[in-house]
Chain A
Amino acid sequence: MKVLKYIESLRKHLKPLRNVLVAYLIVLVIYDVIIHLGAHSHYFVDNIPGFWTMFGIVGCFVLIKVAKGIAHAFLSKDEDFYG
């Protein structure tokens, strides 16, 4: 199967793949700075270049920490909890 071969070859080259993705992230932020030049809106979130980058990083981190924290504190139960 061609699809499978393609996936396997990606898995064999994880390091270059990672480098490409990191480069992509950097380009993304630069791109956002560029489109913010000269653009003005009346909401503050629209005026900060890279705002959604920070939002993504902080939001994702907080979500994982809070969800897993509360789960371990009291929400998670064994599978036969309800009998």
Chain B
Amino acid sequence: MDKWLHPAVFYFIGSLLLPLIKNEKAKKFFILLIPILSILDVALMQEGVYGSYRFLNTTVIFGRVDKLSLVFAWVFVIMAFLGALYALHVKEDGHHIAGNFYIGSSLGVLFAGDYFTVFIFWEIMAFSSVFLVWYRKEQKSIDAGYRYLLVHVFGGLLFFTGMMLYYYKTGGLVFDKILPANAGLPEYLILAGFSLNAAVLPLHAWLPDAYPEATVEGAVLMCAFTTKTAVYVLARGFPGFEILAILGTAMTVYGVFYAVIENDMRRVLAYHIVSQVGYMVAGIGIGTELALNGACAHAFAHILYKALLFMGAGAVLYMTGTAKLSRLGGLYKYMPFTMIFYIVGAVSISGFPLFSGFVSKSMVVASAHEQGRLWLMAFMNLAGIGTFLSVGLKVTYFAFFSKDEAPIKAAEPPKNMLWAMGLTSALCFIIGVYPKALYVLLPFQVEYNPFTLPHFSEALQILSFTGLIFFLLVKKLVPEDKITLDVDYFYRKGGRAFMKLDEKVISVVDTFWGELYRTLGLKLLFKNADISYGFDRQAIDGVVDGGALSVRGIGGLAKKLQTGKIQSYIGFSIFIFILIVWFVIYGM
């Protein structure tokens, strides 16, 4: 195929057509058809550069297809299908539309060849994914959604500032590998913007804040795309940056540390995203071919098993109404299949032999070992202990066992959810026993073999003895009805302090100023008005009347837009998205 079709097109156009389909069966078919078409599109893609235009004195490139973008594209479209299957029972069109815009724009980032295009899709991602939080329709989710959005706008601004400075520095916006020696303020600002989306410490708190408040189906999508898009752009632009190696390794331990304490199942998993993305970031920071391959392989494997875990936890939440471990237990009797699929995800993330984490995570660890960076390797292995301890043992034990009689009775979730979990489990297993299927997609030639005796022995010793200690100390780990402070404390409490300051100080000053204006200023104003009145009546009235009428018209329109209904906001936002996308694609 010498013509190239952007896979995002299916998601954007599909979203527009979705509300037009009234028949329920046809709608479900259509929801699954979108990702299937995009999978075919990615399968037929040839490497090359497509869709480049001149725009604002720079070149924008929509289609840079190479091995690095393709490996991410593959897992993105596969995940899109699994996510759509899992969400098939969702009745609201808006939820599917938000999801599709989110997936489409993350594909847009993957194939973008310049910072400007990355930025546009970057912002659409943030603004469409927030609806997956808001659709939960609970006050907590609405609040968390606003915080999510504000943090991402901040990250977008860092990126935007860096991009502008980069333009002045280099005269172009080409998005390519940056050498650490050449990096200055612009590059580091872009790096900070990217790092925020990758949940790199200390810019990570938005993730465990927002994801556990998202809808059951939305969280499955969110855990796959935002951080992994960021991993992709970091791998593209910033391989070999030492700071990423250090921070990435710190993330691996930091995430599991919180996961050991947390009570909410989905928050445990969210902290594990921080931890697992840490391996990828560290791999990018180490920067060798093996390390970069490891980062990509781990992103691929991680998207699948993390989605599987979120599907399992989501199914529990969907059927019991809570994801708090302190209120769960004994569910193995009621949800055995959900439990088995969850355990497949748990052993995959922990890196058990024959499951996907074993063949991907170990590439990053081996690259640290190969470079003689034993401290990094030790901390990554320590994080491996914490992963199995919290996701594998703690959550499984306290959600599905621990009590003989379940405090909350439940049943297996809807069939489509079980099918999605089953398929994802199968993929985790296939990658684990036949890693070649994954390795051929990686950006560099792979000479890595995970199936060696010392590697088996290392993994089994670490995991098995973690299991031993867990059962010896299980009483210490009983989940408590508590929340855990993280760095979001500073802006959550800080925001409140600012409101207090506003109430107590700024509003007092404001009132005083208003009073001053009313007594002094208004008198002067009246005088002035008298003079201009004469002139005004004769000359300007005619013009203003016309203008005022149209302003009133716009005001009325704006009033109509503010109906307070989430549906109309979504509709309006999507309309604006489409306009932006249309301008971007055809406006040149």
Contacts and interface: CB of A to CB of B under 8 A. Distances in A.
A32 B464 contact: no
B506 interface: no
* Chain B binding surface SS class: helix
Interface in A69-83: 71, 74-79, 81-82
A3 interface: yes
B484 A75 contact: yes
Given A28-B461, A59-B382, A71-B484, A3 B389 contact: no
A57 B466 CA distance: 6
Contacts of A76: 261, 480, 482-485
B477 interface: yes
A20 interface: no
* Chain A binding surface SS class: helix
Contacts of B482: 71, 76-79
B362 interface: no
Interface string B230-262: 000000000000000000000000001110110
B426 to A, nearest CB: 17
Interface string A38-70: 010001011000101101110111011011100
A32 to B, nearest CB: 5
Contacts of B492: 82
A52 B333 contact: no
Nearest to B253: A63
B481 interface: yes
A59 B258 CA distance: 15
Nearest to B258: A67
A3 B336 contact: yes
B483 A59 contact: no
A7 to B, nearest CB: 6
A77 B492 CA distance: 14
Given A43-B374, A59-B381, A35 B464 contact: no
Contacts of A57: 465, 468-469
Contacts of B473: 61, 64
B458 A52 contact: yes
Contacts of A46: 454
A3 B465 contact: no
Contact of B462 (A7, A35, A52, A67): A52
Interface size class on chain B is: 35 or more
A66 B386 CA distance: 12
Contacts of A79: 481-483
Given A32-B457, A56-B464, A57-B465, A63 B382 contact: yes
B189 interface: no
Contacts of B477: 64, 68
Contacts of A53: 461, 465
B369 A63 contact: no
B280 to A, nearest CB: 22
A60 B469 CA distance: 7
A25 B464 contact: yes
A1 to B, nearest CB: 6
B484 A61 contact: no
Nearest to A7: B332
A76 B485 CA distance: 6
Q: Which of A7, A46, A74 has the most CB of B within 10 A?
A: A7
A60 B466 contact: yes
Given A57-B465, A60-B385, A67 B372 contact: no
Contacts of B470: 60
A75 B457 contact: no
Contact of B485 (A31, A43, A64, A77): A77
Interface in B374-409: 374, 377-378, 381-382, 385-386, 389
Given A25-B464, A63-B385, A75-B485, A4 B336 contact: yes
B461 A67 contact: no
A64 B336 contact: no
B381 to A, nearest CB: 7
Given A63-B385, A77-B485, A55 B462 contact: yes
B476 interface: yes
B548 interface: no
B210 interface: no
14 contacts: A21-B467, A25-B464, A35-B453, A35-B457, A39-B454, A43-B369, A56-B461, A61-B469, A64-B473, A68-B260, A76-B261, A76-B484, A76-B485, A77-B484
Q: What 4 pairs across the A-B complex have the smallest Cβ distances?
A: A56-B465, A52-B461, A60-B469, A67-B260
Given A67-B257, A68-B476, 14 more contacts: A4-B333, A7-B332, A45-B374, A55-B381, A56-B466, A57-B468, A60-B389, A60-B465, A63-B257, A63-B386, A67-B258, A67-B261, A79-B482, A81-B483
